[in-house]
């Protein structure tokens, strides 16, 4: 601490040595500051207050039907971006400020000055929709005119921005709708081409490939059963024809022939099915009771097949008996012809059944081949449908939004973006609001004193001197053998006192002049305020 105090005292002593250059610098800066304070022109401020009413009764009524813009956000953003170069250039022309500028550099300086002096603020402590527009200039009339022009631009820009946004939105939506119409037509064409190329997948019966394969398999089995039955009936008719031919040739008895025919009238297809069902019935009866549904169903099938077998055998026997009875009055050739016609009919039925089997076999093979491609085709068709659904959904949404945007435009044109209410019209202050000469003068005095101190300190650093042996020993780092002191005379002490008195008068005069100036300016300002 002692070392710090010693260093400060050494600095003060060196500055005291150059007190007169510092005082001269303080006087120069003080005089210049005072002249600047009194030369700066007065600035007058004009302002206007406007309230922006963003509430409308149509908003709750049209909610969900039209796109309601955030009017408060639009106005807030407009107030923040209103002071832009295009608007300032327009403001300069409206307020006739460009008449002052004769060159391009003057115009640029004018635009920069107007931009710097313009201000748009929200009222403090009040609603955010209450705005204060202000401008400062050396002329109160020009300030008022600039504020009036700025207020007009502020009110016109809101409506113009809304209309430009509506037009831009409508143009964009129309372009998007046209694009989606083209995409939708292309997607519909792809779906149509896919349906025509894969009719087996997109058949109108609503069945998939597995269902069609099962149906083809059932139809094939039924056709094969009919073929076997037709073959059995044909074989029976052929047996009857053979019996008749033998009887006619050998003249054998009817009983023996009927016995032989009964053996040949056997139906192997039905017999095989009956035997298979009986074996299944034995297995079911070993596991279930006679009242079990499977047992009852199997018995019913066996009974139906036996009845069918008896009916077929009876028909064949009846045909065989009819031939000898008719032969009693006719010759054997007529019976043979009748049996031959019956055999021909059965041959036709067999051919028809075989053709039906071939047709259903072809369908079954086609369905079996289609089921292998079904997953790939279904995936492709699902992708087409997914793309088509997305495009159609977007197209529908775009059309709905275009109608909503059209309704919103009509709503904005009807009700306007907002209702502007001028609370205070543009008005210029009768007294200047700037500069604050009292504060500037006090600041000038402080700056002058600081300038004197800085000048003395700078001079002491340029030409330093040593006032203490310890400081000299510390700076030179050499041993000091001794010091020679100066003997002051009475004349030296008198000159020192006179110099100190002169310095005090000079510095006191500077402070006193500034103090008198502050007092006089305060009195003058208070009289203007009264």
Would you give the distance in Å from CA 142 to the centre of its chain?
49
Q: Above 80 in pLDDT, residue 75?
A: no
**Structure confidence at residue 167 (pLDDT):** 67
> Mean pLDDT: which of 23-27, 38-42, 310-314, 325-329 is highest?
23-27
The rounded mean pLDDT for the chain is 75
> Mean pLDDT: which of 333-342, 351-360, 381-390, 404-413 is highest?
351-360
Retrieve residue 370's tokens: 């289609």
Retrieve residue 70's tokens: 């955030």
**Structure confidence at residue 225 (pLDDT):** 81
Rounded to whole angstroms, how far apart are CA atoms 184 and 77? 39
Q: Where are the alpha helices (DSSP H) in 58-139?
A: 58-62, 71-81, 85-94, 104-117
Q: How large is the average pLDDT for residues 335-344? A: 74
Q: Above 70 in pLDDT, residue 456?
A: yes
**Structure confidence at residue 102 (pLDDT):** 73
Q: Above 50 in pLDDT, residue 475?
A: yes
Residue 122's beta-bridge partner residues? 131
Q: Above 90 in pLDDT, residue 28?
A: yes
Rounded to whole angstroms, how far apart are CA atoms 295 and 335? 46
Q: How large is the average pLDDT for residues 137-155? A: 84
Grouping H, G, I as helix, E, B as strand and the rest as coil, residue 366 is helix
* Total-model pTM: 0.42
- What is the rounded (10 degree) CA torsion for 222, 223, 227, 232? 20
**Structure confidence at residue 326 (pLDDT):** 43
Rounded to whole angstroms, how far apart are CA atoms 379 and 194? 12
Grouping H, G, I as helix, E, B as strand and the rest as coil, residue 421 is strand
Q: Above 60 in pLDDT, residue 361?
A: yes
Rounded to whole angstroms, how far apart are CA atoms 303 and 136? 117
Query: Tell me: the pLDDT tens digits for 84-107?
Result: 888 888 888 888 887 767 778 888
Contacts of 16 (CB under 8 A, 6+ apart): 456
Q: Where are the alpha helices (DSSP H) in 463-489?
A: 469-476
DSSP string, 230-286: HHHHHHHHHHHHHHHHHHHHH---HHHHHHHHHHHT--HHHHHHHHHHHHHHHHHHH
Q: How large is the average pLDDT for residues 229-244? A: 76
**Residue 252: band (very low, low, confident or very high) from pLDDT cuts 50, 70, 90:** very low
Retrieve residue 318's tokens: 């009846």
Rounded to whole angstroms, how far apart are CA atoms 280 and 286? 10
Rounded to whole angstroms, how far apart are CA atoms 175 and 173? 5
Query: Tell me: the pLDDT tens digits for 165-211?
Result: 566 777 777 888 888 888 888 888 888 887 777 765 554 444 566 77
**Structure confidence at residue 329 (pLDDT):** 41
Contact 277, 308 (CB under 8 A): no
Cis check: omega of the bond before 396, within 30 degrees of 0: no
* First-residue to last-residue Cα distance in the chain: 55
Q: Above 70 in pLDDT, residue 248?
A: no
DSSP symbol at 41: P
**Residue 27: band (very low, low, confident or very high) from pLDDT cuts 50, 70, 90:** very high
Q: How large is the average pLDDT for residues 154-161? A: 63
């Amino acid at each position: 601490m002692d070392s710090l105090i010693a260093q400060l005292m050494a600095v003060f002593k060196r500055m005291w040595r150059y007190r007169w250059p510092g005082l001269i610098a303080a006087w120069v800066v003080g005089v210049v500051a005072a002249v600047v304070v009194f030369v700066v022109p007065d600035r007058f401020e004009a302002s206007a207050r406007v309230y922006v009413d963003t509430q409308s009764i149509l908003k709750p009524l049209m909610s969900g039907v039209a796109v309601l813009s955030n009017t408060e956000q639009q106005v807030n953003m407009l107030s923040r971006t209103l002071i832009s170069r295009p608007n300032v250039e327009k403001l300069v022309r409206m307020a006739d400020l460009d008449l002052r500028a004769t060159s391009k550099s003057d115009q640029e300086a004018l635009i920069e000055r107007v931009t710097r002096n313009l201000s748009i603020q929200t009222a403090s402590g009040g609603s955010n929709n209450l705005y204060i527009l202000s401008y400062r200039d050396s002329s109160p009339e020009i300030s008022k005119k600039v504020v009036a022009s700025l207020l007009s631009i502020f009110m016109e820009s809101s409506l113009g921005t809304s209309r430009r946004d509506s037009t831009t939105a409508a143009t964009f939506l129309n372009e998007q709708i046209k694009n989606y119409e083209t995409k939708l037509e292309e997607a519909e064409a792809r779906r149509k081409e896919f349906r025509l190329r894969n009719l087996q997948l997109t058949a109108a019966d609503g069945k998939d490939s597995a269902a069609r394969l099962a149906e083809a398999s059932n139809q094939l089995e039924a056709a094969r059963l009919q073929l076997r039955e037709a073959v059995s009936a044909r074989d029976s008719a052929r047996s009857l024809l053979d019996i008749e031919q033998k009887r006619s040739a050998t003249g054998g008895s009817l009983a023996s022939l009927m016995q032989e025919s009964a053996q040949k009238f056997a139906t192997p297809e039905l017999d095989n099915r009956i035997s298979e069902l009986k074996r299944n019935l034995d297995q079911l009866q070993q596991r279930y009771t006679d009242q079990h549904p499977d047992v009852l169903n199997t018995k019913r099938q066996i009974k139906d097949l036996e009845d069918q077998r008896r009916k077929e055998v009876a028909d064949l026997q009846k045909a065989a008996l009819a031939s000898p009875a008719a032969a009693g009055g006719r010759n054997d050739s007529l019976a043979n012809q009748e049996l031959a016609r019956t055999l021909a009919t059965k041959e036709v039925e067999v051919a028809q059944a075989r053709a039906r089997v071939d047709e259903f076999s072809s369908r079954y093979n086609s369905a079996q081949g289609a089921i292998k491609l079904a997953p790939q085709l279904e995936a492709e068709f699902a992708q087409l449908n997914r793309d088509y659904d997305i495009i159609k959904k977007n197209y529908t949404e775009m059309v709905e939004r275009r109608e909503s945007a059209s309704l919103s435009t009509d709503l904005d044109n009807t009700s306007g973006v907002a209702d502007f209410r001028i609370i205070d019209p543009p008005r210029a202050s009768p007294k200047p609001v700037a500069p604050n000469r009292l504060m500037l003068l006090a600041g000038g005095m402080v700056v002058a004193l600081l300038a004197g101190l800085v000048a003395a300190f700078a001079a002491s650093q340029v030409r330093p001197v040593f006032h203490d042996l310890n400081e000299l020993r510390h700076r030179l780092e050499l041993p000091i053998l001794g010091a020679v002191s100066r003997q002051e005379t009475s004349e030296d002490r008198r000159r020192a006192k006179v110099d100190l008195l002169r310095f005090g008068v000079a510095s006191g005069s500077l402070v006193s002049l500034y103090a008198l100036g502050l007092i006089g300016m305060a009195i003058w300002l208070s009289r203007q305020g009264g």
